[in-house]
Amino acid sequence: MKSKLNLYFFFIVLLFLLTNCAVPTKSDPLPSWNNGITKQSIIDFVNEATDSANPNFVSLDERIAVFDNDGTLWTEQPIYFQIMFVIDRVKEMAKDHPEWKEKQPYKAVLENDIKTLFSSEKWISELFVITHTGMSTAEFYKIGHEWLKKAKHPKFNRPLTDMVFQPMLELMKYLRQNGFKTYIVSGGGQTFIRLFAEQVYGIPPEKIIGTLFEAEFKIVDGKPEIYRLPKVFLFNDKGVKAVAIEKFIGRIPVMAFGNSDGDLQMLQYTQSGKGKRFMALVHHTDSTREYAYDRNSRIGQLNKAWDEAVSNNWTLIDMKNDWKVIYPFELDQ
């Protein structure tokens, strides 16, 4: 009888182990990253942050990682994709505005005269306002989704939502699996990013911090709506990114990823927290598979932040050498 009881006991223990224990998996959490210092430093940071016996352990509440969007999570060349939206939208709206044919900056858009268009920041702002406001948020989402379905990248002739960086998708998933909250902190429009971020990045609307327009609560025909007003409320770039993190998150992140001078203050703010922190910049070094640009680029200039990265020992992610593939579609080829 004793041996039978032992057998019961053995079965029960075995079953308990099988059903209740997470077996550590040896599979690579970042398969699209080449083995090397960059990849290893990320894995080391996460291993330490999640090991309660390690002096660099980070409590679950504090595991916050922030990501710039344009140039960090998806391509930002030859122009920010949101500007493609602006241009397409102006052309669409021009049907109801015959006077735009002779009026700048609309004329430049309608004549595809990008050089003239980009000669004035005020013009760009005006076009953002006219295409992003004067409607409810629900209406904006509808317009945006319609556009995203059709828009293609000029170099790759693929949907813009295909132009996301596979290594960064893996990184965000890996971090979330390790209890990190992943936030986007972008100079791009919050509502614009919300169009695709949940589906493409797995980041829900409440974790998207971006440039905001003023808005008001209105009741139209008995139905409440959030109506978008023609004024920027928060332009989420440079120091404002740090301020926005304080307002939206209320804790200093432990990891921050950017790619340009607009991300410098976000990385400085992240570094200012107590304990070990991880700051990284995506360096666009691959003119074949994506684009190569840095110190002198009109879009995504990486100059001051690069110098700061070097003197602070932040991680520079070398796209060409650190990433096995750039885009998810390369995995299917």
Q: Which stretch binds a copy of itself (CB under 8 A): 46-54, 94-102, 222-230, 307-315?
A: 222-230
Instruction: Give the span between the Cα atoms of 56 and 66, in whole angstroms.
Output: 19
Near a copy of itself in 147-186, by CB under 8 A: 181
Q: Which residues contact 137 (CB under 8 A, 6 or more apart)?
A: 191, 215, 225, 226, 228
Q: Which two tokens stand for residue 51?
A: 């090991």
Strand partners, 227: 136, 216
Q: Which DSSP string do the residues of 270-307 spell out, in sequence order?
A: HHTSSS--EEEEEEEE-TTTS-EE-TT-SSS--SHHHH
Q: Please, what is the minimum distance in Å from the beta carbon of residue 223 to a copy of itself?
A: 6
Q: Please, what is the minimum distance in Å from the beta carbon of residue 319 to a copy of itself?
A: 28
Strand partners, 159: 152
Q: Which two tokens stand for residue 40?
A: 């290893």
Q: Please, what is the minimum distance in Å from the beta carbon of residue 235 to a copy of itself?
A: 13
Q: Please, what is the minimum distance in Å from the beta carbon of residue 309 to a copy of itself?
A: 16
Residue 59 contacts a copy of itself per CB under 8 A: no
Q: Which stretch binds a copy of itself (CB under 8 A): 87-95, 97-105, 161-169, 263-271?
A: 263-271
Residue 137 contacts a copy of itself per CB under 8 A: yes
Q: Which DSSP string do the residues of 59-76 spell out, in sequence order?
A: -GGG-EEEE--BTTTB--
> Binding-site residue total for a copy of itself (CB under 8 A)?
44
Residue 205 contacts a copy of itself per CB under 8 A: yes
Q: Which residues contact 220 (CB under 8 A, 6 or more apart)?
A: 136
Q: Please, what is the minimum distance in Å from the beta carbon of residue 66 to a copy of itself?
A: 12
Instruction: Give the span between the Cα atoms of 328 and 162, in whole angstroms.
Output: 7
The residue from 1, 2, 3, 20 that contacts a copy of itself (CB under 8 A) is 20
Judged by beta carbon, residue 117 or residue 195, the one nearer a copy of itself is: 195
Residue 221 contacts a copy of itself per CB under 8 A: no
Judged by beta carbon, residue 82 or residue 285, the one nearer a copy of itself is: 82
Judged by beta carbon, residue 36 or residue 239, the one nearer a copy of itself is: 239
Q: Which residues contact 299 (CB under 8 A, 6 or more apart)?
A: 71, 76, 77, 78, 79, 80, 293
Residue 204's SS3 state is: coil
Q: Which residues bind a copy of itself (CB under 8 A)?
A: 4, 8, 11-12, 15-16, 19-20, 61, 137, 181, 190, 194, 204-206, 208, 212, 215-219, 223-226, 238-243, 246-251, 265, 268-269, 271-272
